Amino acid sequence: MRPNEIKQEINKLHLSEKLLLIEDVWDSIAQMNSELPMPEWQKRELDKRYNEYKDDELNLYDWQSVHEEIRNKFK
């Protein structure tokens, strides 16, 4: 089936069916995660950040504090 035909079929679905379809598509992408290429620079950056985390060199913030700071910033 061609992309335009797929789009036409999707347009015929109810919203709840479309949402289930999206979930299935994301699940299929997640299953192929190991096949997704990651550039070497990105691997190095992730390793660096993980090592900083393990060595307790990062300032970590809980999500409530971050949200509160953002809300206060834009009041």
CB 3 within 8 A of CB 11: no
| Contact assessment for residue 21 and residue 11, using Cβ atoms and an 8 Å cutoff | no
Stated length of the chain: 75
Q: What is the pTM of this model?
A: 0.46
**Lookup: tokens for 72:** 């206060």
Confidence of residue 49 (pLDDT cuts 50, 70, 90): very high
Confidence category of residue 35, pLDDT binned at 50, 70, 90: confident
The single-letter code of the amino acid at 33 is N
pLDDT per position as a tens digit, 8-33:
999 999 999 999 999 999 999 888 87
Strands (DSSP E) contained in 1-75 are: none
